[in-house]
Amino acid sequence: MRLDPLQYLSAELQGLRDQGLYRRLRILDDEQKAATSVDHRAVVNLSSNNYLGLTTHPVLRERALDAIRRFGVGSGSVRTIAGTMALHMELESRLAAFKGTEAAVVFQSGFSANAGTVSSILGRDDVIVSDELNHASIIDGARLSRAAIKVFPHRDAGAARTIVAGLPAAQRKLIITDGVFSMDGDLGALPALCDVADEYGCIMMVDDAHASGVFGRNGRGTVDHFALHGRVDIQVGTLSKAMGVLGGYVAGARTLVEFLYHRARPFLFSTSHPPAVAAACIGAIDVLEGEPGLIDRLWDNTRFFKSGLAALGFDTGSSESPITPVIVGDATRAMALSDRLFEKGVFAQGIGFPTVPQGKARVRTIVTATHTRGELQFALDAFKSAGAELGVI
């Protein structure tokens, strides 16, 4: 009989169970929307990144259906061989116009946009100066590039400056930060990091996954929010969160985009988006440009919910965005709070190590433009009783 060479994985999983970190996947049995059904229970959904409710927006639905009827369901190839459809080019030019850059290139996901870009533009002689809480896709891209990685403490542009100042002037340097940090909801130190990049001639890159569709005019992102136009060489955004569909993009100079067309490995070696995805993403840009009231509603709901949680006595950290963490500390207790909320009809995921540091476990909430006040008040009432029952407040 063959011994199972994957036996050691059972021990790893048992370790997760022992620490209360084992999570069964929650299953959505309805659409991704503000009030939905998860594991056959009606819930107010505070766990998605569907900031503007675009996952079910009628314009995006129709565009996707129309694209399927006209162009089928698959692109049939990678972009560089036969998989570039007119819709892909239209999406890229719309994104460039939206972001106010010369050009843009679309990847299959935000993850592949980050990993593919960082790994292709840098090599083993270069240095990456990175915020300690940057997203995993940036870290993976940095490792694949073989460049040296220097990490600065969260949002500490002074520390980034000290690192950069200590490097040889001739060495190529990339400074990189998330625009909005996904687990804390705070903003990257973008203006101060741009000053460092300008002073020392570094490449400046921002990952605006959680800022796309949320910050800046019509959701143009943090570069627009901070009025840093022309000072950030590489803007990554995602089409998977507020844009409601799937994908990632890099907006910047024409030269950068042409280089990525030739060297970014996910672009070269992985099949492009189906036409329905590209068409729905174009629809999302139309909605951002045509319905700015959605973003206003998102921020109204954010203020209402954040102040409600704070008034109940929860520790909501230092968020400046619609992401509001409810910091509990102990992972087992955070998971218990999430489970108790679920029983009360509120879906808010518990998040522990390694996604957040040890001792910083939390329940993470994200409100959307499409939550009603009634739904948000229902969620606050559930937080109040569950928090009291578990001694969190």
Ligand X SMILES: *Cc1c(COP(=O)(O)O)cnc(C)c1O
Catalytic residue among 75, 182, 272, 338: 182
Q: Minimum distance from CB of 317 to ligand X (Å)?
A: 16
- Residue 308 in the binding site for ligand X (CB under 6 A): no
Residue 229 among the catalytic residues = no
Ranges of beta strands (E only) in 172-295 are: 173-178, 203-207, 234-238, 248-252
Of residues 176-205, those binding ligand X (CB under 6 A): 178, 182
Q: Which of 54, 189, 209, 341 binds ligand X (CB under 6 A)?
A: 209
- Residue 207 in the binding site for ligand X (CB under 6 A): yes
Q: Which of 79, 135, 362, 364 binds ligand X (CB under 6 A)?
A: 135
Picking from 341, 342, 268, the residue whose alpha carbon sits closest to that of residue 309 is 341
Instruction: State which residue, 51 or 347, has the beta carbon closest to ligand X.
Output: 51
Please report, as a single letter, which amino acid is at residue 103. A
Q: Which of 137, 177, 321, 370 binds ligand X (CB under 6 A)?
A: 137
Instruction: In whole angstroms, give the CA distance from residue 121 to residue 282.
Output: 27
Six-digit token string for 258: 């042409």
Q: Minimum distance from CB of 207 to ligand X (Å)?
A: 5
Of residues 217-256, those binding ligand X (CB under 6 A): 238, 240, 248
How many Cβ atoms sit within 10 Å of the Cβ of residue 20? 17
Instruction: State which residue, 114 or 368, has the beta carbon closest to ligand X.
Output: 114
Placement of tokens 């001792």 in the chain: 359
Q: How far is CA 22 from the centre of its chain?
A: 23
Dihedral in degrees, nearest 10, Cα atoms 139, 144, 148, 150: 0
Q: Minimum distance from CB of 380 to ligand X (Å)?
A: 25
Which one of the spans 30-38, 206-214, 334-342, 374-382 is the region binding ligand X (CB under 6 A)? 206-214
Instruction: In whole angstroms, give the CA distance from residue 67 to residue 280.
Output: 9
Q: Minimum distance from CB of 47 to ligand X (Å)?
A: 13
Catalytic residue among 57, 210, 360, 371: 210
Report the DSSP beta bridge partners of residue 173: 127
Instruction: State which residue, 238 or 368, has the beta carbon closest to ligand X.
Output: 238
DSSP 167: S
Instruction: State which residue, 133 or 392, has the beta carbon closest to ligand X.
Output: 133
Q: Minimum distance from CB of 236 to ligand X (Å)?
A: 7
Instruction: State which residue, 101 or 109, has the beta carbon closest to ligand X.
Output: 109
- Residue 210 in the binding site for ligand X (CB under 6 A): yes
Q: Which of 36, 47, 75, 109 binds ligand X (CB under 6 A)?
A: 109
Ranges of beta strands (E only) in 160-233 are: 173-178, 203-207
∠ Cα 21 242 215 (to 5°): 105
Six-digit token string for 225: 């929010």
Which one of the spans 107-115, 145-153, 194-202, 335-343 is the region binding ligand X (CB under 6 A)? 107-115
Catalytic residue among 241, 273, 360, 371: 241
Instruction: State which residue, 252 or 308, has the beta carbon closest to ligand X.
Output: 252
The burial class, CB within 10 Å (0-12 / 13-18 / 19+), for 321 is: buried
| Helix axes of 293-312 and 373-389: crossing angle, nearest 10 degrees | 20
Number of residues that bind ligand X (CB under 6 A): 14
Q: Using an 8 Å Cβ cutoff, are 174 and 203 in contact?
A: yes
DSSP letters, 93-114, are: HHHHHHHTSSEEEEESSHHHHH
Residue 241 among the catalytic residues = yes
Which residues contribute to the site for ligand X (CB under 6 A)?
109-111, 114, 135, 137, 178, 182, 207, 209-210, 238, 240, 248
Catalytic (active-site) positions: 182, 210, 241
